[in-house]
Amino acid sequence: MLARHADPIVAIATAPGRGAVGIVRVSGKQLESLVQALCGRSLRPREAAYLPFLDARGEPIDQGLALFFPAPRSYTGEDILELQAHGGPVVLQLLLARCLEAAAEPDPATGAPRLPGLRVAQPGEFTERAFLNGKIDLAQAEAVADLIDASTEAAARSAGRSLSGAFSHEVQLLRDALIQLRMLVEATLDFPEEEIDFLRSSDARGQLQRLQQRLAQVMQRTQQGALLREGIKVVIAGQPNAGKSSLLNALAGAELAIVTPIAGTTRDRVQQTIQIEGVPLHVIDTAGLRESSDEVERMGIARTWEAIADADAVLFLHDLTRAAEREYQDGDAAIESALVQRLPPQVPIIDVWNKSDCAPQTEGPRQSPARPAIVLSARTGQGLDSLRQTLLQVAGWQTAAEGVYLARTRHIQALQTVQHHLHQAALLLDTPDLPLDLLAEELRLAQNALGTLTGEFTSEDLLGVIFSRFCIGK
């Protein structure tokens, strides 16, 4: 634990701006003297008191509710004082300044400062204290930020599951099973002459297989949770006037992009985040792809290819009303060739045939059996539901997924590391001359990777990255 973790801290815990209520929060050890200075009297634990908040002269700065939570029954595990005042920025700044001022004042009883070392909290430092003092684990701490940042109802509910400990419970079950297997292997190391029979009679292989199966289930739910948190980036690409801007507007349900019959209207990227069944989709409308002598349009086309290179999925938009034109077919073929060359193989391409309401009934899309194709009308909305479901499918979302908890990229990477080490352990179990020391090491590494999820094995650098992304006061 770093030296700064022992400092008492204070911060405004509500969002900047004006509101009905604003909160100033203090966390530290032995806050009773500070409480006396700010409130004029002591407070009963966990009982709201309506009273004036006093300045150095004993004059009220504001009146509001004061709450005192003695350690260890508090959010951070330390003493916590919360001052709930009117939510004006000036009032809250005055209260913050008064907390710092009162902390440096001498205590009438001892003559020492009331709360020496009180400083303004860094981002996420209250939640970091909660983690360091064992009130929550690291996965739950991250869920606090994810709950605040949730962009959909499904994401908020999943973050709530993680905060309540659902994800941590799954990790704990994996850890317990892994420890049991490690104990078996470590014990076998002490009796090398009986190692094979001992492992067989204890069903080491069966234990490992059951552990791998449980891990696979956790990884599946974690990947679903990562989709809820991160969403996917979808780029709409195609020739000019295929209806890219109209499709963006139709998906978003709002007029976000300018739509005209003039080719090259869209010069730059237009992005909108929508949600389908709670999954965020960051949809990007781009400039039409074609040869152009217009410098501004050429810059827009270059940015289109930049967006495509960074996409999780590409909607390749085709115009059904021009599908029979040779020149249009050549343009689509050129885009197709460029997409194949520039996109990684794992990035899906969805062929979207637009303007079905205007196309001759005799015309039909040329479909590739290797990828999905959707026929729709961005103007009338026909076919949009099919496109939405296809987007969820290529993203890997399972509609009936239950018990999903919000997850981060680092969670998936840690579980993949666990999976790798368990796979290596399984291979070792199948070798004729079983190297017990190597088997024990693979299981130890798997447990260490699991420990990074809840903070059992976590570097100070990683903690700094995680909590620095919180808001101040949380």
CA distance to 362, 366, 390, 427, 446, per residue, from 373 (Å): 18, 9, 9, 42, 42
Q: Are 99 and 473 in contact (CB under 8 A)?
A: no
**pLDDT per residue over 329-352, tens digit each?**
888 888 888 888 888 888 888 999
CATH T-level assignment (fold) for domain 3-136 = Gyrase A; domain 2 (3.30.1360)
Question: For 160-180, what is the mean pLDDT?
Answer: 91
In tens, the pLDDT along 111-166 reads 999 999 999 999 989 999 999 999 999 999 988 888 888 878 888 888 888 888 89
246 labelled ligand-binding: yes
- Annotated ligand binding at 263? The verdict is yes
Per-residue pLDDT band for 264 (boundaries 50, 70, 90) equals: very low
Q: Could you tell me where in the chain the CATH 3.40.50.300 domains are found?
A: 231-395
Q: What is the pLDDT of residue 441?
A: 92
Q: Is 82 annotated as a binding residue?
A: yes
Q: How far apart are CA 167 and CA 150, in angstroms?
A: 17
Whether the predicted pLDDT of 249 surpasses 60 = yes
Query: What is the predicted pLDDT for the residue at 261?
Result: 45
Superfamily of domain covering 148-227+408-455: tRNA modification GTPase MnmE domain 2 (1.20.120.430)
Does 119 count as an annotated binding residue?
no
> 70 among the known binding-site residues?
no
Name the helix (H) or strand (E) containing 79: strand 79-87
Distance of CA 278 to the CA centre of its chain: 14
pLDDT band of 309, cuts 50, 70, 90: confident
Assess contact for 308 and 235: CB atoms under 8 A: yes
Annotated binding residue 302: no
The answer on whether 243 is annotated among ligand-binding residues is yes
Is 29 annotated to bind ligand?
no
Any known ligand binding at 264? yes
- Is 285 annotated as ligand-binding? yes
Architecture of the domain made up of 231-395: 3-Layer(aba) Sandwich (3.40)
Owner of token pair 């815990």: 13
pLDDT confidence of 442, banded at 50, 70, 90? Answer: very high
Judge whether 379 is annotated as a binding position.
Answer: yes
Q: Per the annotation, does 474 bind a ligand? A: yes
Using alpha carbons only, what angle is made at residue 21 by residues 19 and 25, rounded to the nearest 5 degrees? Answer: 120
Rounded to the nearest 10 degrees, the angle between the axes of helix 436-454 and helix 166-189 is 160
Parts of the chain belonging to CATH 3.30.1360.120: 3-136
Q: In what order do the strands lie in the sheet with 9-12?
A: 49-54, 60-69, 79-87, 19-28, 9-12, 119-120
Query: Is there a binding annotation on residue 135?
Result: yes
Asked which of 78-82, 296-300, 356-360, 377-381 is least confident by mean pLDDT, the reply is 296-300
pLDDT at 194 over 60: no
**Is 48 flagged in the annotation as binding?**
no
Return mean pLDDT, the chain.
84
User: Shortest CA distance to 238 belongs to which of 398, 355, 108, 94?
Assistant: 355
DSSP strand pairing (349-354 vs 373-375): parallel
- At residue 265, the pLDDT reads 42
Judge whether 233 is annotated as a binding position. Answer: no
Domain with CATH 1.20.120.430 in the chain: 148-227+408-455
Span 275-287, pLDDT tens digits? 888 888 888 877 6
> Between residues 322 and 304, which one has the greater pLDDT?
322
Query: Which of 49-58, 288-297, 319-328 has maximum average pLDDT?
Result: 49-58
Q: Is 242 annotated as a binding residue?
A: yes
pLDDT at residue 260, as a whole number = 38
156 labelled ligand-binding: no
